[in-house]
């Protein structure tokens, strides 16, 4: 590959030739070991990864970029997890080892499912193994690790250092709190050391702009005997019962694929009740028939909550006093004419978070709100959630960030083997 770089650069701009030599040297010196590329939001990490992947690909090398919207890295060419793995691993020198890794990560029980029915963490594991099967020289894994629970994140880091990744220079970015990073990486590089002066004015996430509107009615959220299966004979939830008091923050915890998002979607009305009942303030409700009326949800993937063709239109359905506040809090007030999908992931996530937070509902569910957010933005989200609870509404948070859960002082609800434990205060 180095020879290819030198040949392709011959006769060109000397600075460009030197840049490609430097890139080739960086890739070759980091084969078989992951590199953590550090920096805050808008520091230029994503732009650098995308540029490097594009440049290496144009030179005939194999380079792959996986962004925080990890489902976009699934092929859509085949119907099942098994066939997605086969598509990428057939002919790979480490195909058999990667397939065994998929089974050890728990993907074996999902082999006959569509990849798009997996949880975000399961999709991250699937995509990582598939892309390694293509044997890239450069693999940019931008923020995707944040979808994983602590154990799976540590195990995937080991995979990036294993023989299955021996030819790949894997460059990772991770956001959020440093306390959450399970990776003991020997190589950490500041993006400012690679691209001095990169980045620009960072849009601020400002909780001071938050204007909470208390719900007309507050009350307990109760459930009894909820069970749910996506496929017959494979229950995701088993006889779930809970009683949650308003004015508190609850942390719904569990491993990747434990059913956290499934339970949240049932409570908010995105998925139907198959068995059991739900009550609000002592009266039975069916959220499937009136979705989002009692509980509203900020979803893990912001792209499924963006419908309008401008930022202004996204916040237009909020009360007049809240629409400007929602845009200001998200840091997009000067982007009102932009199409939401032209915003970077970090701003799409902030926009949907802010829009949901400015609704007036008795209960709020936030699914992985900190994805793509640096520590400063996470602190702003902590302040918002605490304001909502102080205002009399109830909050349920799904997050793999232990530090975020500790800072919001959430009470723990843990899903394990489809069952839910009793609430308690999270201390670690």
Range of the domain at 43: 2-194
In a domain, 199, yes or no: no
- Say whether both 241 and 375 belong to one domain: yes
Distance CA 428, CA 417 (A): 22
In a domain, 261, yes or no: yes
Count, in order, helices (H) and strands (E) of the chain. Answer: 14, 16
In a domain, 297, yes or no: yes
| pLDDT computed for residue 3 by the predictor | 36
In a domain, 313, yes or no: yes
Does this model's pTM top 0.85? My answer is yes
**Domain holding 294: CATH number?**
3.40.50.300
Closest CA to 66 of 169, 148, 171: 171
In a domain, 418, yes or no: yes
Of 194, 220, 247, which residue is a domain's last? Answer: 194
- Owner of token pair 């600075």: 15
- Say whether both 166 and 212 belong to one domain: no
- Say whether both 143 and 261 belong to one domain: no
- Say whether both 212 and 336 belong to one domain: yes
- Say whether both 180 and 217 belong to one domain: no
Q: Are strands 275-280 and 283-285 parallel, antiparallel or unpaired?
A: antiparallel
Low-confidence ranges of the chain (pLDDT < 50): 1-11, 425-428
- Say whether both 411 and 288 belong to one domain: yes
- Say whether both 171 and 37 belong to one domain: yes
The full 3-state SS of 23-42, as one line of letters, equals: HHHHHHHCCCCCEEEECCCC
Of 161, 194, 227, which residue is a domain's last? Answer: 194
| pLDDT computed for residue 423 by the predictor | 56
Task: Locate 399 and state its tokens.
Answer: 């997050």
Task: Locate 195 and state its tokens.
Answer: 């691209």
- Say whether both 141 and 228 belong to one domain: no
pLDDT digits (tens, 9 = 90+) for 20-46: 888 888 899 999 989 999 999 999 999
Distance CA 46, CA 68 (A): 10
Phi, psi at residue 87, to the nearest 5°?
A: -60, -40
Give the number of domains in the chain: 2
- Say whether both 212 and 187 belong to one domain: no
Distance CA 362, CA 153 (A): 34
Give the Å distances, CA to CA, from 284 to 189, 217, 223, 272, 278.
54, 15, 9, 15, 6
In a domain, 200, yes or no: no
- Say whether both 185 and 311 belong to one domain: no
In a domain, 202, yes or no: no
Of 140, 160, 194, which residue is a domain's last? Answer: 194
- Say whether both 287 and 321 belong to one domain: yes
- At residue 59, the 3 state secondary structure works out as coil
| pLDDT computed for residue 7 by the predictor | 41
Decide: 344 and 391 in contact? Cβ < 8 Å: no
- Say whether both 129 and 248 belong to one domain: no
| pLDDT computed for residue 199 by the predictor | 64
- List the beta bridge partners of residue 253: 414
In a domain, 248, yes or no: yes
């Amino acid at each position: 590959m180095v020879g290819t770089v030198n040949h392709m650069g011959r006769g060109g701009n000397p600075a460009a030739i030197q840049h490609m030599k430097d890139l080739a040297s960086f890739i070759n010196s980091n084969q078989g070991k992951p590199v953590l590329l550090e920096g805050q939001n808008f520091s230029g990490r994503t732009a650098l990864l995308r540029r490097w992947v594009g440049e290496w690909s144009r030179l005939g090398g194999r380079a792959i970029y996986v962004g925080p919207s990890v489902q976009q890295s699934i092929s859509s060419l085949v119907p099942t997890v098994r066939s997605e793995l086969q598509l990428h691993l057939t002919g790979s020198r480490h195909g058999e080892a990667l397939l065994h890794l998929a089974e050890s990560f728990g993907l074996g029980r999902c082999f006959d499912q569509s990849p798009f029915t997996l949880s975000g963490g399961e999709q991250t594991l699937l995509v990582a193994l598939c892309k390694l099967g293509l044997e890239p020289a450069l693999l940019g894994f931008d923020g995707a690790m944040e979808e994983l629970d602590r154990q799976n994140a540590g195990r995937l880091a080991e995979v990036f250092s294993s023989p299955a990744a021996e030819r790949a220079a894997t460059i990772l970015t991770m956001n959020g709190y440093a306390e959450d990073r399970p990776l003991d990486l020997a190589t950490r590089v500041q993006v400012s050391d690679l691209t001095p002066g990169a980045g620009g004015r960072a849009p601020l996430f400002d909780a001071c702009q938050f204007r909470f509107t208390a719900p007309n009615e507050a009350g307990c959220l109760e459930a009894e005997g909820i069970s749910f299966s996506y496929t017959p004979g494979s229950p995701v939830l088993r006889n779930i019962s809970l009683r949650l008091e308003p004015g508190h923050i609850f942390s719904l915890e569990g491993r990747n694929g434990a059913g956290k998002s499934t339970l949240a979607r049932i409570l908010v009305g995105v998925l139907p009740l198959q068995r059991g009942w739900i009550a609000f303030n002592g009266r039975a409700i069916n959220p499937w028939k009136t979705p989002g009326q009692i509980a509203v949800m900020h979803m893990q993937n912001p792209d499924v909550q963006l419908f309008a063709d401008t930022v202004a239109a996204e916040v237009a359905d909020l009360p007049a006093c809240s629409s400007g506040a929602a845009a200001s809090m998200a840091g997009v007030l000067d982007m009102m004419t932009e199409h939401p999908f032209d915003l970077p992931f970090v701003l799409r996530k902030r926009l949907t978070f802010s829009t949901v937070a400015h609704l007036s509902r008795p209960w709020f569910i936030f699914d992985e709100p900190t994805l793509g957010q640096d520590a400063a933005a996470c602190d702003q989200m902590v302040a918002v959630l605490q304001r909502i609870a102080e205002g009399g509404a109830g909050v349920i948070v799904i997050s793999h960030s232990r530090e975020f859960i500790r800072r919001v002082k959430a009470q723990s609800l843990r899903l394990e083997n489809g069952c839910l434990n009793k609430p308690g205060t999270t201390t670690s």
